[in-house]
């Protein structure tokens, strides 16, 4: 029982452990007894946590102890060593820490010891039990040398010391363990050579020493072990020749080696078998990433059992032998990055089971064989980086299981076969660097699983097909260096997983696409060397994951957006050779990861901002060929990583800062063609001794220019003297002023101190108390109060204003109670929410109401007052919203003869809701039930989000509305909230996304069937290109060529982002506000008295 008392048992697995049971403890779960003595304690996978107690030592008859796969922590108690009869201990997959108990060496009957996957550390100092047959210390942090006591374990069969920090050499004494079958020493820091004594382990079946620092050669005798099936020595520093015993058994014994893994070493040769006979059972041969030279070993083509052959990244040469066709069971053939030449042999088609062919990075020639298209099991075909010519075989369209197709960097010509557009399982298509012509097929949109599309550096022409918008899994799109023209299809902005867009060096036109700002995962965007115009969208600042932005060599005008300073991951910003104007924004200084900034060849003006020195990672700064003026900032010397600085062809003036020479890594400097003056700093002049670096500055002198600086030096001395006198005089005047100000301030402070002391004596305590309590509301002789934060209204007036809470005054019914219209005698109108039964007690209610009254935002319904008193009455007072709610407005707008909401007003409504909800989230308040009925409109038709914070004022919500759940309303509730019953910020975002889609499309989420919801319907219309199906009647007149059309689609995409199935993929409300604000290209439309084209629905 003391063992149980120390544990946390979340599953209640040990609930039945009761000392009062008839056979306790022998009838308890996990306890096994013999002759009423506990012999086994087995408690695996029960989520138990806590520390092991020393009381376990009292179980003197214990033979088996298993608590694997739990959460036990602390140290392993050494008292366990007193259980002298223990035969097996299973402590793996826990959180034990500390060292290994030296006392365990006393367990002379222990056969199995497993402490893998814990947090044990230190050197194993004591002896391990000599009786062990199975020892597993893997995945801990043990250090020091491998325990020498292992040699005494003559019965040892399995040793696993992998994933620790054992160092030193592998003990040669391992060779004395005749019973050893499995030896794992992977991923330690072992060094030295592989002991040839291991060849004495005649029972060895599996030897793995991956990921260490072994040197030297492989002893040939090890490969000759008759029972050895697996040898893995990858990721070491082994060298020399690979002995043929790794592959062939030339003795009379049946071959046993099946898996040989020798990759990532420094082998230079494979020894050829001494006889023509090669008995082998080899299935996997992996010798990738070595330095092996010569031709393909022909004798390997006789090893018919081979299924995986990996010769990648070596120095093999010659032709690929036709004998590979003899390997009928071959599944993977990897020979990339070698020097094979010639053609692909026809006989490879005999390898009917093959799924991977990788010949990338060789010197293969000829045409790509059409027979490859009939090897139906192929999943990966990589032939890139060779010298193939001819066309892409149409037969490749038969490879319906193909996932990766890499034919890049060859000499292929012709058009893209339409047959390839039917490869539905394709995830990677790499065809760049060829001579392909024609257009990009529209059928490419059928490759729905495509993640990487690279068609760069070909001769493709025409437009980019809009069908690319169907590739929702696409992460990389590279269509660079072509002859593509026209504008970019807006559908590209709807690919949520895009990380790389490379479209440089084409003939594309139109404005820089603003829609890319919705691609929240975008990391690389390159549109340089095209014909793009317009301005750089300021909402690109929303691309927080952006690493590289290249817009150089276009016709872009306007300013450099200061919002780009929000792209905190940005490393490269290139916008040279455009027509940008204005100042260099100081906000760029927030780009702490920026390495390359190129603003050259524009029309920028103003000074170089001092703040640019905050870009501490900057390596290249190019501001040449602009109209910059002012001095070169001395703060540039703080850019310690700078290697390139080009400020040439500007209007810079003043002297060259001498401290620029402190940038030790500066390799390229150009300040020519400016108005600089003075002497060139001597260190800079000696480092950059070409006159072209400083040329065309009429006031500069000194080396490497031919002009001397004698007169200039005298002038400089005079200037310094005058400057010193001026500074000294100014300092004296400033000091005098400071002293006067100090004396004046001291006198005023003493006078205030006297006045304050005098005032405190004149103020009575009663008056202070009265002033602190008045002005908040009214009461009836000290009874329950209707507390108003501003106005003074009594409860009696409120009851009269609602006609005794008459049914005719009901404005709405919610799960939190009824909302009444209250018309007071002085003409004031308010909304009174009468909460249903089950509200909090009076004191708690007052506290929560006071807190809720402090939540104020122009897009929220603000609490104006409250009442709490008998008989269990709870009231909340709000401003009256005369123009109803969003649900009513959308319903009336859906009729052709009703009110038609235009796009600017729909945008303003959505933006208002988003701003209100973002404010709630910033105040750590979750709404929990965002829906159109919760959005109310004031007299100016400005949106106000209501019904927030009410769950804190009630014990349990009423169930008056059948469409409501405890965490939202059906149709608007997030899927995860349905399962967990818990509202979160992410579920609020989902609900807002549904409301946004309803505002934009006019479709209610309850209009759809079980198999289709509003999100799926919107995605379907986008995929089909049926954009007009999304338009509500009020939006049918949108011009597809106008900015409002693109703005509407951006709004739709924001709604889809909000409704992502995984809550982690949804943006925050502050991000949504940012996106919606960026949706409006035209001028903002202020909130008017009527958002419709007809009279107000109210």
Catalytic residue ranges: 929
| 81 touches 106 (CB < 8 A) | yes
| 997 touches 971 (CB < 8 A) | no
Q: Which residues contact 652 (CB under 8 A, 6 or more apart)?
A: 608, 628, 629, 630, 631, 632, 671, 674, 675, 676
Question: How many other C-beta atoms are found inside a 10 Å radius of the C-beta of residue 980?
Answer: 12
Question: How many other C-beta atoms are found inside a 10 Å radius of the C-beta of residue 279?
Answer: 14
User: 1014-1024 vs 985-1001: helix axis angle to the nearest 10?
Assistant: 60
Q: What is the C-alpha to C-alpha distance for residues 114 and 409, in angstroms, rounded to an integer?
A: 52
Report the length, in residues, of the chain.
1098
| 142 touches 124 (CB < 8 A) | yes
Question: How many other C-beta atoms are found inside a 10 Å radius of the C-beta of residue 648?
Answer: 24
| Half-sphere CA count of 711, side-chain side, radius 13 A | 5
What 3 state SS string does 435-481 have?
A: EECCECCHHHHHCCCCCEEECCCCCCEECCCHHHHHCCCCCEEECCC
> How buried is residue 805: exposed, middle or buried, by Cβ count under 10 Å (0-12/13-18/19+)?
middle
| 152 touches 129 (CB < 8 A) | no
Q: Which residues contact 643 (CB under 8 A, 6 or more apart)?
A: 619, 620, 665, 666, 667, 668
Question: How many other C-beta atoms are found inside a 10 Å radius of the C-beta of residue 275?
Answer: 8
Return the bridge partners of 136, or none. Answer: 114, 160
Dihedrals φ, ψ of 982, to 5°? -125, 130
Q: Measured between alpha carbons, how far is residue 633 from residues 28, 613, 654 in Å?
A: 79, 9, 10
H or E stretch covering 1085: none
What the block records as the tokens of 183 is: 């030896």
Closest CA to 1098 of 952, 976, 940, 957: 940
User: 903-922 vs 1043-1058: helix axis angle to the nearest 10?
Assistant: 30
Q: What is the C-alpha to C-alpha distance for residues 742 and 744, in angstroms, rounded to an integer?
A: 5
| Half-sphere CA count of 4, side-chain side, radius 13 A | 16
Q: What is the C-alpha to C-alpha distance for residues 696 and 694, in angstroms, rounded to an integer?
A: 7
Using DSSP's 3-state secondary structure scheme, residue 1051 falls into helix
Strand ranges in 659-781 using DSSP code E only, listed in sequence order: 668-670, 675-679, 699-701, 777-779
Question: How many other C-beta atoms are found inside a 10 Å radius of the C-beta of residue 230?
Answer: 18
Cα angle 704-707-712, degrees, rounded to a multiple of 5: 115
What the block records as the tokens of 260 is: 């040989």
Question: How many other C-beta atoms are found inside a 10 Å radius of the C-beta of residue 781?
Answer: 4
Annotate 92-161 with DSSP letters as a single string: -SSEEEE---GGGGG-TT--EEE--SSEEEEE--SPPPTT-SEEE--SSEEEEEPPGGGGG-TT--EEE-
Q: What is the C-alpha to C-alpha distance for residues 137 and 142, in angstroms, rounded to an integer?
A: 8
Dihedrals φ, ψ of 860, to 5°? -125, 150
Q: What is the C-alpha to C-alpha distance for residues 184 and 571, in angstroms, rounded to an integer?
A: 43
């Amino acid at each position: 029982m003391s063992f149980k008392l120390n544990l946390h048992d979340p599953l209640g697995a040990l609930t039945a452990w009761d000392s009062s049971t008839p056979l306790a403890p022998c009838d308890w779960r996990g306890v096994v007894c013999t002759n009423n003595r506990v012999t086994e304690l087995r408690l695996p996978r029960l989520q138990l946590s806590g520390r092991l107690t020393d009381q376990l030592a009292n179980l003197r008859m214990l033979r088996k102890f298993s608590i694997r796969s739990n959460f036990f922590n602390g140290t392993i108690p050494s008292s366990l060593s007193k259980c002298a009869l223990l035969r097996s201990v299973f402590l793996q997959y826990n959180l034990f820490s500390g060292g290994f108990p030296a006392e365990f060496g006393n367990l002379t009957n222990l056969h199995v010891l497993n402490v893998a996957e814990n947090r044990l550390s230190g050197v194993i100092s004591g002896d391990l039990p000599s009786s062990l047959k199975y020892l597993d210390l893997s995945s801990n942090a043990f250090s020091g040398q491998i325990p020498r006591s292992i040699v005494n374990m003559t019965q040892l069969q399995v040793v696993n010391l992998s994933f620790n920090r054992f160092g030193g050499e592998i003990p040669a004494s391992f060779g004395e363990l005749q019973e050893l079958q499995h030896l794992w020493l992977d991923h330690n820091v072992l060094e030295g050579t592989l002991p040839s004594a291991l060849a004495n382990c005649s029972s060895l079946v599996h030897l793995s020493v991956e990921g260490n620092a072994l040197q030297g050669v492989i002893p040939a005798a090890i490969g000759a072990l008759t029972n050895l099936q697996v040898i893995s020595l990858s990721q070491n520093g082994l060298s020399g020749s690979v002995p043929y015993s790794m592959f062939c058994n030339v003795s009379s014994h049946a071959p046993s080696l099946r898996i040989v893994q020798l990759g990532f070493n420094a082998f230079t040769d494979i020894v050829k078998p001494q006889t023509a006979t090669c008995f082998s059972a080899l299935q996997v041969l992996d010798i990738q990433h070595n330095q092996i030279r010569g031709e393909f070993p022909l004798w390997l083509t006789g090893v018919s059992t081979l299924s995986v052959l990996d010769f990648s990244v070596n120095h093999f040469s010659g032709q690929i032998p036709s004998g590979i066709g003899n390997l009928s069971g071959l599944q993977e053939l990897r020979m990339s990055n070698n020097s094979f030449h010639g053609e692909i042999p026809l006989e490879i088609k005999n390898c009917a089971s093959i799924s991977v062919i990788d010949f990338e990075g060789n010197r293969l020639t000829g045409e790509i064989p059409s027979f490859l298209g009939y090897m139906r099991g192929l999943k990966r075909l990589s032939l890139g980086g060779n010298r193939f010519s001819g066309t892409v075989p149409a037969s490749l369209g038969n490879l319906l299981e193909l996932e990766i197709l890499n034919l890049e960097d060859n000499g292929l010509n012709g058009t893209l076969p339409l047959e390839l557009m039917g490869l539905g399982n394709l995830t990677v298509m790499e065809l760049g660097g060829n001579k392909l012509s024609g257009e990009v097929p529209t059928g490419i949109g059928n490759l729905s699983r495509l993640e990487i599309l690279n068609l760069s550096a070909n001769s493709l022409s025409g437009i980019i097909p809009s069908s690319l918008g169907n590739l929702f899994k696409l992460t990389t799109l590279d269509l660079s260096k072509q002859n593509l023209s026209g504008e970019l299809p807006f559908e590209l902005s709807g690919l949520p997983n895009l990380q790389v867009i490379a479209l440089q060096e084409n003939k594309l036109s139109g404005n820089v696409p603003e829609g890319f700002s919705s691609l929240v995962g975008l990391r690389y965007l390159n549109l340089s060397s095209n014909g793009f115009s317009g301005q750089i969208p300021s909402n690109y600042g929303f691309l927080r994951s952006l690493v590289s932005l290249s817009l150089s060599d276009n016709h872009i005008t306007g300013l450099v957006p200061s919002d780009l300073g929000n792209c905190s991951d940005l490393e490269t910003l290139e916008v040279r050779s455009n027509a940008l104007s204005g100042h260099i924004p100081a906000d760029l200084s927030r780009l702490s990861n920026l390495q390359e900034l190129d603003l050259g060849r524009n029309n920028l003006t103003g000074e170089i901002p001092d703040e640019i020195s905050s870009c501490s990672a900057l390596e290249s700064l190019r501001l040449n060929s602009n109209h910059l003026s002012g001095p070169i900032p001395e703060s540039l010397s703080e850019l310690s990583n700078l290697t390139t600085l080009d400020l040439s062809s500007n209007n810079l003036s003043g002297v060259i800062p001498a401290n620029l020479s402190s940038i030790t890594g500066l390799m390229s400097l150009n300040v020519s063609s400016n108005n600089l003056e003075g002497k060139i700093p001597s260190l800079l002049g000696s480092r950059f001794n070409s006159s072209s670096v400083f040329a065309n500055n009429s006031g500069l002198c000194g080396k490497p220019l031919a002009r001397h600086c004698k007169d200039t030096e005298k002038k400089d001395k005079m200037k310094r003297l005058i400057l010193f006198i001026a500074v000294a005089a100014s300092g004296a005047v400033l000091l005098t002023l400071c002293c006067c100000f100090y004396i004046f301030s001291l006198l005023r402070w003493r006078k205030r101190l006297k006045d304050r002391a005098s005032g405190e004596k004149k103020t009575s305590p009663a008056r202070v108390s009265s002033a602190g309590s008045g002005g908040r509301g009214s009461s009836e002789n000290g009874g329950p109060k209707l507390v108003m934060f501003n106005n003074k209204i009594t409860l009696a007036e409120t009851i009269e204003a609602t006609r005794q809470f008459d049914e005719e005054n009901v404005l709405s019914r919610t799960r939190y109670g009824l909302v009444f219209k209250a018309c007071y005698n002085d003409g004031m109108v308010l909304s009174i929410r009468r909460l249903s039964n089950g509200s909090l007690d009076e004191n708690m209610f007052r506290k929560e109401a006071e807190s809720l009254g402090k939540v104020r935002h122009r897009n929220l319904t603000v609490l104006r007052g409250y009442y709490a008193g008998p008989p269990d009455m709870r009231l909340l007072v709000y401003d009256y919203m005369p123009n109803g709610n969003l649900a009513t407005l959308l319903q009336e707008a859906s009729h052709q003869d009703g009110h038609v909401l235009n796009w600017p007003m729909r945008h303003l409504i959505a933006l208002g809701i988003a701003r209100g909800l973002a404010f709630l989230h910033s105040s750590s308040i979750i709404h929990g039930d965002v829906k159109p009925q919760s959005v109310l409109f004031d007299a100016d038709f400005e949106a106000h989000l209501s019904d927030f914070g009410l769950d804190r004022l009630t014990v349990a919500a009423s169930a008056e509305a059948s469409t409501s759940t405890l965490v939202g309303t059906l149709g608007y509730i997030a899927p995860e909230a349905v399962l967990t019953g818990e509202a979160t910020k992410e579920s609020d975002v989902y609900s807002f996304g549904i409301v946004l889609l309803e505002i934009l499309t006019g479709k209610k989420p309850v209009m759809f069937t079980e198999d289709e919801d509003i999100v799926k319907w919107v995605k379907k219309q986008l995929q089909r290109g049926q954009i007009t199906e999304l338009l509500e009647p009020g939006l049918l007149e949108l011009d597809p060529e106008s900015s409002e059309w693109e703005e509407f689609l951006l709004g739709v995409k924001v709604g889809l982002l909000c409704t992502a199935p995984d809550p982690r993929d949804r943006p925050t409300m502050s991000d949504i506000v940012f996106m919606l604000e960026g949706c409006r290209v035209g001028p903002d439309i202020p909130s008017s008295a009527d958002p419709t084209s007809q009279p107000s629905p109210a």
